[in-house]
Amino acid sequence: MSGRQSAAADIRGYAEALLMVAASTIAGLILAPRWGNSAVDLVYLPAVLGAAVIAGLGPALVAAIVSALAYNYFFTSPYHTFIIHSPADVVTVLVLFLVAVVTSQLAASIRRQAQVAAAHAARNATIAGFARQLLSCTGEPEIAETAVRELSTLFGCNTMLVSGHPEPEIVAAAPGGIRLTPSDIAAAALVLESGEPAGRGVTRVDPADWQFRPVRSQRAVLAALGLARDDGARPVAAEQLPLLTSLLDQIALAVERARLEADQREVDSLRERDRLRSALLSSVGHDLRTPLTAIIGAAAELRRTGCDATLVSTLAAEASKLERYITNLLDMARIEAGAVKLRIEPVDLVDSVAAALKDVRYSLGDREVEVDLPAELPLVRIDPRLLHHCLINLLDNAARHSGEAAQVRVGAALTDGDVLLSVEDDGPGLNVGDEVIDTFVALRGSDRTGGAELGLAIVKAFAEAMGADLTAANRGGGGGARFTIRFPRNLTMTATAADAE
């Protein structure tokens, strides 16, 4: 409501109060000749109450004063003067005035409470309607368009939603075709960075044409809402700020909801792809395992019949290698399906390394293998079957990515209670960033070509399932790569015995 409209409403309220007092006076003049003047004072109370309810406290107080004066003038002796001779009349006039004042205060308070309740109801209805509009939106662009359109209608001003860092960009605007000046861009950037209002009507960056307010969640500023009027006045009155703040919170909730829904859709898509991939791996692995077993058996039979030992060894080695690939595929499918079951028991790393070296003797060929396992290494509480798979894959990886005359080193150390078991080669090593091992991602170093490093992903997954972890790094100096399985202190028998004591 403008100032002129408010003044007109105030004048109308006072006029209505005086008219009600005049009506009460006329009623008293009609009743007094028949019933006497003693009961006339009660006739003025409805006028005071009516003025308080209809027009508020100010007109009610005026009605109370005028009622007391009118009763004194028309109904106390001497009549038609403001002089009072009888003490009883003085008391009557004072009581009338006090009763009128008290009742006007009570009535005005009830009116204010009713107005506040009505304002809250209207505000809640506006927020609920706004939230309902945003709830029907399916994405951030639609949320932005709906928000600026509704806010422009509610506040009767131009609105826009901007986001982006460091250069803010207009996401949606009502009306369209709005362009920002450098001062407006600075104000929007300040809001997005600090989360505080800026621009027109705010102390910060006042030269801007637009006033910007943050749209923020509990974690970050999501966007900035811009408001402006064509006449350059403040876009939002002070009494409208609580409503605007609530609507900005609704926008933030809607944007977060849209982002969470988008993330959930992406997760669902990834989960479906993983399910299909696991099914494919399992199917291919099982289909290939039977003929591979037959090939390996045939190679063993050829070796017994005296065929060319070199060709038979090559056939057996390549078939065994392919069998390990298929086993890795099946193991990865089991890992992703959560079907890996642990059988924890004390394991001697010396025996585990010896068994793994025996199983990959064909893959290692003529490579020299140096084993450096200190005698004081404690036993570790892990699954021996999974550790065997880990060592086979690490040794096979070292053999495939190093030269025929290369050296492979298997070492272990006890550091701060942790057991570190490493497999090293003397190839060119890893490029920067290849230290992170992931499923179906090929390492990019020159000694890591030839496909996705599924074996390393198997090692990482099995190690984590046992409570250990796998790290990759370059050896330094002479070059080559080092893959280390770290068994933390809580997996060692030394720590277990110490805890038992």
Beta strands 368-372; 407-415: pairing state: parallel
Average pLDDT score over residue span 291-295: 73
- Tell me, what's the pLDDT at 332? 67
> Which residue bears the tokens 């230290």?
435
Rounded percentage of the chain residues whose pLDDT exceeds 90 = 10
How confident is the model over 60-75, as pLDDT tens digits? Answer: 778 777 877 787 778 7
Choosing from 293, 308, 336, the residue where a domain stops is 336
340: helix, strand or coil? coil
Comparing 259-268, 453-462, 477-486, the range with the smallest average pLDDT is 453-462
- CA 92 – CA 237 distance, rounded (Å): 47
User: Which amino acid, residue 168?
Assistant: P
Kind and range of the H or E element at 118? helix 87-135
Kindly state whether residues 63 and 207 are assigned to the same domain: no
Kindly state whether residues 455 and 367 are assigned to the same domain: yes
246: in domain: no
Going by pLDDT thresholds of 50, 70 and 90, the confidence category of residue 345 is: very high
Tell me: pLDDT of 40 over 90: no
258: in domain: no
276: in domain: yes
Kindly state whether residues 277 and 330 are assigned to the same domain: yes
Average pLDDT score over residue span 31-51: 74
Kindly state whether residues 354 and 496 are assigned to the same domain: yes
Tell me: pLDDT of 443 over 60: no
> Which residue bears the tokens 């057991």?
419
245: in domain: no
Residue of higher predicted confidence among 49 and 420: 420
Kindly state whether residues 127 and 151 are assigned to the same domain: no
252: in domain: no
36: in domain: yes
- Tell me, what's the pLDDT at 202? 76
* DSSP character string of 186-227: HHHHHHHHH-S-EETTSSTTTT-SSEEEEEE-SS-EEEEEEE
Crossing angle of the two packed helices 309-336 and 241-304, in degrees rounded to 10: 150
**Residue 149 belongs to domain with CATH number:** 3.30.450.40
Kindly state whether residues 328 and 366 are assigned to the same domain: no
304: in domain: yes
From the list 45, 38, 46, 47, the residue with the least C-alpha distance to 92 is: 38
Kindly state whether residues 398 and 477 are assigned to the same domain: yes
Kindly state whether residues 398 and 417 are assigned to the same domain: yes
From the list 190, 191, 235, 189, the residue with the least C-alpha distance to 209 is: 235
**Residue 356 belongs to domain with CATH number:** 3.30.565.10
Indicate the number of domains in the chain.
4
> Which residue bears the tokens 């959930």?
264
Going by pLDDT thresholds of 50, 70 and 90, the confidence category of residue 449 is: very low
Average pLDDT score over residue span 133-158: 86
From the list 240, 246, 203, 248, the residue with the least C-alpha distance to 221 is: 248
Average pLDDT score over residue span 179-196: 86
Choosing from 131, 160, 189, the residue where a domain stops is 131
Residue of higher predicted confidence among 383 and 498: 383
Going by pLDDT thresholds of 50, 70 and 90, the confidence category of residue 171 is: confident
Residue 391 has φ and ψ, to the nearest 5°, of -65, -40
In this structure, what is the dihedral angle of CA atoms 247, 248, 249, 253, given to the nearest 10 degrees? 100
Going by pLDDT thresholds of 50, 70 and 90, the confidence category of residue 432 is: low
8 A C-beta contact, residue 410 and residue 372: yes
Going by pLDDT thresholds of 50, 70 and 90, the confidence category of residue 258 is: confident
* DSSP character string of 29-98: HHHHHHH-STTGGGGHHHHHHHHHHHH-HHHHHHHHHHHHHHHHHHHSSSTTSS----HHHHHHHHHHHH
- CA 20 – CA 27 distance, rounded (Å): 11
- CA 235 – CA 218 distance, rounded (Å): 26
Beta strands 345-347; 418-424: pairing state: unpaired
- Tell me, what's the pLDDT at 451? 39
How confident is the model over 112-122, as pLDDT tens digits? Answer: 777 777 777 77
Kindly state whether residues 352 and 331 are assigned to the same domain: no
**Residue 283 belongs to domain with CATH number:** 1.10.287.130
- CA 148 – CA 152 distance, rounded (Å): 6
Residue 368 has φ and ψ, to the nearest 5°, of -80, 130
- Tell me, what's the pLDDT at 400? 78
431: in domain: yes
Domain range for 186 is: 140-236
Average pLDDT score over residue span 4-20: 77
Kindly state whether residues 117 and 199 are assigned to the same domain: no
Query: Is the preceding peptide bond at 207 cis, omega within 30 degrees of 0?
Result: no
Kindly state whether residues 13 and 90 are assigned to the same domain: yes
How confident is the model over 362-378, as pLDDT tens digits? Answer: 777 778 888 999 988 89
Kindly state whether residues 151 and 207 are assigned to the same domain: yes
Tell me: pLDDT of 221 over 80: yes
Token code pair at residue 403: 């030269």
Average pLDDT score over residue span 326-341: 69
Choosing from 131, 158, 176, the residue where a domain stops is 131
The DSSP output letter for 175 is: S
For the chain, what is the mean pLDDT?
A: 78
Query: 25 to each of 37, 70, 71, 298, 444, how far by Cα in Å?
Result: 12, 7, 8, 125, 102
User: Which amino acid, residue 180?
Assistant: L
Tell me: pLDDT of 308 over 70: no
